[in-house]
Amino acid sequence: MFADLHLHTHFSDGTFSPEEVVARGRQAGLVALALTDHDTVEGCARMTAACAAAQIEFIPGAELTAEYEGIELHILGYFIDTKNPKLLRELARFQIVRQNRIREMVARLNERNVPLQADAVFALANCRAPGRPHVARALVQAGHCATHDEAFERFLKKDRPAWVPKAKMSALEAIELIHQAGGLAVMAHPALNRADHLISNLASAGLDGLECFHTKHSASAIKRYRAFAEQFHLLVTGGSDCHGLSKGKPLIGTVKLAYEHVEKLHAAKKQRAVGVAALPN
Ligand code: AMP
Ligand code: ZN
Ligand code: FE
Ligand code: FE
């Protein structure tokens, strides 16, 4: 029995609807799925219904853009209450940051004589948490770039002409935000962030888990992060980080997390709930 705990839909920068994600997950034989759209939980209601219909377990989640000591980190929240007021307030704040950043990226493109309009990007994104992949798709659609990758290479990668830094919450705030919404906080794809030296501090600050299995993790990276997880008593998670068709082949099901890790997440979630109930008022 296997799970995929890192998935995106068109509510952020994936191309699949929640229903398509679930249908593909079912085809791949997965028994549990988590939705982890960037800075939004809007897709979770439809994922809940689609998973129930397909008899697949669903874990509501989100992937929060955060930073710690100047390094960008993605913090996954699992089992979060998707109606938690503070969580929704903070997500709304960072969605505005994302929307303003799109306008800024388009302005920079315009300065370079690339005549793209912000409204074209917003129309294509059709979501509250737009990001660089939407700008890339708009550039391809308008014929300014041949491919998504070319758009990143020429304009959107860090320090390229249309790259705009993004204001982020601190990783400590992200962990706290997830906890107060009843969730577990997991550091996403650590091999992509060069932040191994931060894991110890984040674990002390309450980080619950480490995403050891990820599409871009080599066998040696998996081994390395499983050792870190053991050393710092962190849960082990994994997922494909499928963005639908935006990066070519859909990745859902290509990273298979053994279900025993999902059981450990459940146990930790239960323990956290007991701990919170036992706190003095
Ligand atoms: P953003 O949240 O707007 O900074 O965009 C991040 C998204 O862009 C992630 O889903 C990445 O997978 C994607 N991305 C980041 N860098 C690249 C790159 N060099 N080529 C293609 N996609 C990228
Ligand atoms: Zn993404
Ligand atoms: Fe990420
Ligand atoms: Fe992701």
Through-space distance between the first and last CA atoms of the chain, rounded to whole angstroms: 41
Q: Which ligand is nearest to the CA of 158?
A: 1
pLDDT exceeds cutoff 80 at 201: yes
The residues, ordered by sequence, that sit 6+ positions from 188 with a Cβ below 8 Å of its Cβ are 6, 36, 63, 73, 74, 75, 76, 211, 214, 241
* Digit-coded pLDDT (tens) for 239-275: 999 999 976 789 999 999 999 999 999 999 999 887 7
Contact 236, 262 (CB under 8 A): no
What is the three-state SS of 92-149? Answer: HHHHHHHHHHHHHHHHHHHHCCCCCCHHHHHHHHCCCCCCHHHHHHHHHHCCCCCCHH
- The number of C-alpha atoms within 13 Å of 84 and in the hemisphere containing its C-beta is 22
- DSSP per residue, 38-63: BT--TTHHHHHHHHHHHT-EEEEEEE
Q: Say which ligand is closest to the CA of 242.
A: 4
Tokens linked to 227: 């050792």
Query: For the segment 158-176, what is each residue's pLDDT rounded down to a tens digit?
Result: 999 999 999 999 999 999 9
Contact 14, 249 (CB under 8 A): no
SS3 201: helix
Q: How far is CA 48 from CA 37, 42, 144, 158, 194, in A?
A: 14, 11, 38, 35, 34
Residue 276: per-residue pLDDT: 72
Instruction: Say what the pTM is.
Output: 0.95
| Cα 132 to middle of ligand 1, angstroms | 6
| φ/ψ of residue 218, rounded to 5 | -75, 170
CA distance 127 to 116: 18
Residue 281 has pLDDT above 70, yes or no: no
Instruction: Give the per-residue pLDDT at 273.
Output: 80
Ligand 1 atom closest to residue 98's alpha carbon, by position in its atom list = 3
Kind plus residue range of the DSSP H or E element containing 185: strand 184-187
Nearest bound ligand to the CA of residue 39: 1
> What lines the ligand 1 site, CB under 6 Å?
13, 38, 131-133, 149, 152, 157, 166
Closest ligand 1 atom, residue 131 Cα:
3
Q: Answer whether residue 58 shows pLDDT above 90.
A: yes
Out of 13, 67, 75, mutate this one to test ligand 1's pocket (max ligand atoms within 8 Å of CB): namely 13
Question: Rounded mean pLDDT of 153-161?
Answer: 97
The label of the residue with tokens 């080599």 reads 218
Query: To test the ligand 1 pocket, which listed residue (152, 154, 242) has its Cβ within 8 A of the most ligand atoms?
Result: 152
> pLDDT-derived band of residue 280, with 50, 70 and 90 as boundaries?
low
